[in-house]
Chain A
Amino acid sequence: MSHDIVLKVIAKLLIPFILLFALYVQFHGDFGPGGGFQAGVIFAAGIILYALTNGPDAAMRIMPPRLLTPLAALGVLLYGGVGIATVLLGGHFLNYDVLAHDAVHGQHYGILLIELGVGVTVASVMLVIFFAFITQEP
């Protein structure tokens, strides 16, 4: 949308750190503040900044909606799949204890996987909604 060189350069400097911070929040959510939802939103915000400075078409080339819509479903399926897996392994739905030989390890795997599912779904849905709004003709 904008052709301002200052905005473009500053955004180019910031975006890698925003995306990296999103991944940090995603995978460090067990230890520090954060988790899948926050990570997904921050990731989406980074891409939205790219879309604002380089135009929605450039953003839709790196994050094609064709890819985003299945990803949104994939995150939910991953979450639900972990639940089904725990049932098949003999536990209750979403009881991660049975995912590994040790209950605490199982909890870690379970939390990591479902947070990944949440993050993927949230990031894709936020981007899909943003693209849907920004590509409308006034």
Chain B
Amino acid sequence: MLLTFLVATALAVVRLRSLFAVVMLSGIYSLVTAGIFIALDAVDVAFTEAAVGAGIATMLMLGTLRLTGHRQVAPRHSPLLPLLVVTITGGVLLWGTRDMPRFGDPAAPVHHHVAPRYIEDSPTEVGVPNMVTSVLASYRGFDTLGETVVVFTAGVGVLALLGIGGRRRRDEGAEDTDDDGGTRPG
């Protein structure tokens, strides 16, 4: 059911030319995805998807639309070649899933690598009831540190490229120097 919504939203995103509607639909797409994650009992991921995908990403897209305009220009070239590439890629990916174990298969390799150790030992080793947290924060602490650095780097990158309130400093001079999050030359 949710997957049907997902496909319908994706098709609408492809068909529409109004970018505002596309941004709204991509927010809905994220929200439906969050619903699917809840159905799969991955509540942590659903939180993230709902807050980032449906909330903040949609807002950033809207902020970008404010700068770029609301209509998508109709493409001049024929859509046949891109469509062919996408179809072939999708077909190959679907073909690749045939080698994967069935969804929820208890004999799948992913359930026999490190997962049993986490499940058996984390209550005594880490003692945190939420096993996701103990894996993310303790067993996989390096990875989470890396993710945090990635988020930090994204912030630094945006500040370096855009800066906060760059226009205000140019317009009003030294009147409001509170927001010196990033300086913009010129």
Residues of A within 8 A of B (CB): 25, 29-35, 37-38, 41-42, 44-45, 48, 52, 60-61, 64-66, 68-69, 72-73, 75-76, 79-80, 83, 93-94, 96, 103-104, 107-108, 110-111, 114-115, 117-118, 121-122, 124-126, 128-138
For residue A25, which residue of chain B has the nearest CB? B47
Residues of B within 8 A of A (CB): 43-44, 47-48, 51-52, 55-56, 59-60, 63-64, 66-67, 124-130, 132-134, 136-138, 141-142, 144-145, 147-149, 151-152, 154-156, 158-159, 162-168, 178-182
Beyond A69-B159, A103-B125, A121-B152, 13 additional pairs, beta carbon < 8 A: A29-B133, A30-B130, A35-B132, A41-B51, A66-B181, A72-B155, A76-B149, A76-B152, A79-B145, A114-B145, A115-B137, A135-B179, A136-B63
Interface residues of chain A: helix, strand, loop or mixed (majority): helix
The 9 A-B pairs with the shortest beta carbon distances in the complex, nearest first, are A65-B181, A125-B155, A133-B63, A137-B167, A94-B141, A33-B43, A104-B127, A41-B51, A38-B47
B55 to chain A, nearest CB (A): 5
Q: Is the CB of A129 within 8 A of B47?
A: no
Bound CA–CA A25/B147 (angstroms): 19
A121 to chain B, nearest CB (A): 5
Indicate whether A130 sits within 8 Å of B127 (C-beta atoms), given known contacts A65-B181, A110-B137, A122-B151: no
Q: Is the CB of A111 within 8 A of B162?
A: no
Which chain A positions have C-beta within 8 A of B132?
33, 35
Which chain A positions have C-beta within 8 A of B180?
65-66
Q: Which of A64, A104, A130 contacts B56 (CB 8 A)?
A: A130
Q: Which of A29, A73, A118 contacts B130 (CB 8 A)?
A: A29
Which chain A positions have C-beta within 8 A of B163?
132
Bound CA–CA A48/B51 (angstroms): 11
